[in-house]
Chain A
Amino acid sequence: MRQETALTRWIGRERIARGRKPSAARRGGTQRLLLYGAAAVVIYFLACAIVPQWLAPFPPMEMRMDRSLLPPGPSHWFGTDYYGRDLYSVVVYGSRQSLLVGIASVLAGGLSGALLGAVSGYAGGLVDAVIMRAVDVLMTVPGLLLALAVAAALGPGRWNIVLAVAVASVPGYARVMRGQILSVKVRPYVRASASIGASPSRVFWTHVLPNSLSPLYVMSTLGIGASILAGSGLSFLGLGDWNASPDWGAILSQGRGYMTVAWWISAFPGFAITAFVLSVNLYGDWLRDFLDPKKNARGK
């Protein structure tokens, strides 16, 4: 064990000592290309969410029964649905709702979950026991069911969906954060800081928290995808914003019934979700590496 760490540490040191260039250049090729691609995807969908009217060739609600269930082609890139709506336009307009639910609920759920977990893990004792039992209770209810209950209680609406999905994601973040804090708070440098005379709150903010965050980056970028799907599920059940255009999840579930005759109705919103989640996730990984002092020297 010690041998291994010594070896890896030693090689790690070499890498730094030799300069970051070789490693950056080596990883650069494909990695950089992927990152650029991901950036393009994210920017494109953000644009869709902000100014769909510039990007969609048709109004999303325009029904043309004579064009019902057309396969993808030059005039309708993603094909049309049963009502003859242009699927590409629907997806473009749906991105606003999807991205909103995905990002806002991860922000809300991630922040509050992380805070709960961090407080719980760092304080320990009774505080830990109370918070974690509450989280455990939340955890026993399946996520979607919990979101459903919250949404049902609050009534339909865009922000209620965000809140519902956020609440359902809190236990996961809290658990991960608590575990992370528990492992970081016993590291020697945390003890060292305390031995210098740092107050517990200083130790928490300067050492424990910053060193506990990295798994959260990955988890929250993955969570955006899950949240988009969860939000879609809720809007599918009629708990979403009835006035807005359908989000990706809603289109996807709408297309389920046509799977055998018109695969494109489900496939394209599905691709949209996958592409967006994958891109965001790549950035999550990149962010984690960027913030890792061993892999990247900031401020130099």
Chain B
Amino acid sequence: MELLLEASHLTVELSTPIGELRVIDDVSIAIRSGETVCLVGESGSGKTVLSKTVMRVIDQENGRIVGGSLKFEDTVLTRLPADEVRPLRGSRMAMVFQEPMSAFDPAFTIGSQIAEAIVSHRQGSRRQARAKVVELLRKVGVPEPEVRMKQYPGELSGGLLQRAMIAMALSCDPKLLIADEPTTALDATVQAQILALLKDLQAEFRMALLLITHDLGVAAAMADRIVVMYAGRVAESGTAEQILTRPYHPYTRGLLNAVVRLDGPRRTKLPSMDGSIQGPAEYPSGCGFRPRCPFATSECAERPPLAEIDGRQAACWHAAKLAQSSEIQAPLSIGATPPPNRSVRLPMKGDGQARAPLLEVVDLRRHYPMKRTGFAPPKRLKAVDGVSLSLSAGETLGLVGESGSGKSTLGRVILQLEQATSGKVAFQGRELTGLRGRRLREVRRSMQMIFQDPYGSMDPRWTVGQIIGEPLSIHENWSGKEKTDKVKELLLSVGLDPSWRERRPHELSGGQKQRVGIARALALDPAFILADEPISALDVSVQSQILNLLQELQDRRGLSYLLIAHGLNAVRHLSDRVGVMYLGKLVEIAPSEELFRHPAHPYTRALIDSVPPLVPGWTPWKQAVGGEIPSPLDPPSGCRFHPRCPFATSRCKEEEPAWREIGPARAVACHYPV
């Protein structure tokens, strides 16, 4: 295969208010035509900057190539004037962005924006372009392309927009497609579809794919070769097989271990790396991974070169030695430490039925009235439509489902942050739905929440101490000293330095912020915590730290969690039971292990199948469910899942399946449970 893109010793600096930051440092990668290279790394590792450098988009973001060379086909890009780069962009190399919703201009139709790309690269007249748009949209699997191309970005779902984005990238038959986290903003089911599409198109168009992702599962599914980046440098690069099964660099190894697996042991302490990645201003001298590396020695103060070892490249002084050690040989089995103290918690589940549940939700509904249009009666958006569940003390109930399934709304209604339309919520035997004002606020003491966006959920003007102390100021009449002591204790219990009271949220990293969020939720010693996507905004290595913390706190304090997440791995790992929601209804609930081993509802199965495992060469996503979740404004008749269900019959179309028990603590709403 011929060499398509070659970067050697590339160094990029960004000019920022504090001076020049070296964000890419001596990076060499090569992409051959037709192959897929995955750039893997945490946020701040420089992978996005690198992709922007390849397109020379970095020029527009105060970035500069200060060293090394960049060659695409026969063109040396390093110093090419801007107006000679422009014809390359979009025609010979094209880019797909993370957020399809904001990558399109909302004021123009999809079709006209794709046609624009074709016309501006002189690939045809307007009329020819239109015909080509239809053909492209059909190729990327957009149904009814003639209709869709006349629609505006706001009228299309995220998945369809991402398909359209890909169609646009393909419009001039690029040789290289750069996809920057193309599926991160999408549901796992849609992610599987898009990945399958990318792979098909790649074969058809014979183009190279540079895929940037933080998700090692995605990399495993797609990559021929994987390049792991850390702190602006390449840590390790090799074939997917090499990287995934025998990582040499301690960072790669830590990253692989930190991934929560669908097939790993549940409720164990996850192996995790300490700390988090530094920003470019703090990149340490020598080996960038040194501060977090368990194998670091004095040798590491000097920067390790990217050296060739066993047919791969690794930038680590100890790579050769570590490669020999048994520890690193089989990362897939590392971390199977036995479950700690599970016996303390297990009995609770056994007699959970007999005991009064901590939380009981009966036939809860939350409907939003929509604005009346014309003379038709106003529609109602049924975000939550008749959900019943219960949770006993010390138990974790996971809730999964695609976005739009109503799981977050359900959480908010349970906490009475939103009014239920009907149904009831009982907490510790007390009916909450009718409570207002002071009485309701009193209940909040024992029901707390952890938020998805740790940064947004803290007042930026406040210090960490004030943030954690806020619940105490509200509910306890304590002196300053008592409060400070409690805050210190809380900071310690979430693994932060008590002296950090004076810091402000923006001075903390994502994981540290989430720890502060957890400390705040713990301040009043609640019995129940609603965790709404607590780890989805965090880096892989930090996710496992937070999961460990949540688990440890539960074991120590006997907390009950309602864990809402779209990441099935995390839910499976932490939950005792898991409920699956689809379009405002619970479709299945089962003990965690059983649900993942033998899903009864086709939707559950589809969700599980769409998670790429960490094994190279996994391709069964083509069997994953098609289509996307419909609008809850117009839910399908009968079983709401029937339009996407591979097993649907006419009965599913007409008759809504009843909620029935199919085993101990198991229930499903399906006519034909698997």
Contacts and interface: CB of A to CB of B under 8 A. Distances in A.
Interface in A1-57: 1-3, 6-7, 9-18, 22-23, 26-27
B180 A3 contact: yes
Given A17-B282, A195-B449, 5 more contacts: A2-B99, A16-B507, A23-B17, A193-B459, A196-B470
A112 interface: no
Nearest to A20: B18
Contacts, number: 121
Contacts of A238: none
22 contacts: A6-B43, A10-B43, A10-B44, A13-B507, A14-B16, A14-B282, A17-B279, A18-B18, A26-B19, A188-B457, A189-B457, A192-B457, A192-B517, A196-B470, A196-B471, A196-B520, A197-B441, A198-B470, A202-B474, A211-B459, A293-B506, A299-B502
A14 B459 contact: no
A145 interface: no
Contacts of A16: 506-507
A64 interface: no
A9 B455 contact: yes
A153 to B, nearest CB: 42
B48 A3 contact: yes
A211 B97 CA distance: 32
Ordered nearest first, which 10 A-B pairs have the shortest CB separation? A197-B444, A14-B281, A188-B456, A14-B279, A1-B102, A188-B457, A197-B441, A192-B457, A196-B471, A195-B449
Interface in B495-537: 502, 504, 506-507, 509, 517, 520, 524
A196 B446 CA distance: 9
B489 interface: no
A107 B106 CA distance: 41
B470 A12 contact: no
B444 A196 contact: yes
Contacts of B509: 13
B185 interface: yes
A191 B19 contact: no
B282 A192 contact: no
Interface of B: 14, 16-19, 21, 43-44, 48, 61, 97-99, 102, 180, 185, 279-282, 415, 417, 438, 441-442, 444-445, 448-449, 451, 453, 455-463, 470-471, 474-475, 502, 504, 506-507, 509, 517, 520, 524
Interface residues of A, number: 41
A194 interface: yes
A256 interface: no
A68 B471 CA distance: 72
Contacts of A10: 43-44, 279
A196 B521 CA distance: 8
B451 A192 contact: yes
A191 B98 contact: no
B281 A18 contact: yes
Contacts of A9: 455, 506
A179 B485 CA distance: 39
B417 A18 contact: no
B152 to A, nearest CB: 18
B460 A293 contact: yes
Contacts of B502: 299-300
Nearest to B472: A196
A199 interface: yes
A293 B442 CA distance: 31
B620 to A, nearest CB: 30
A297 interface: yes
A197 B475 contact: yes
A17 B44 CA distance: 15
Contacts of B463: 299
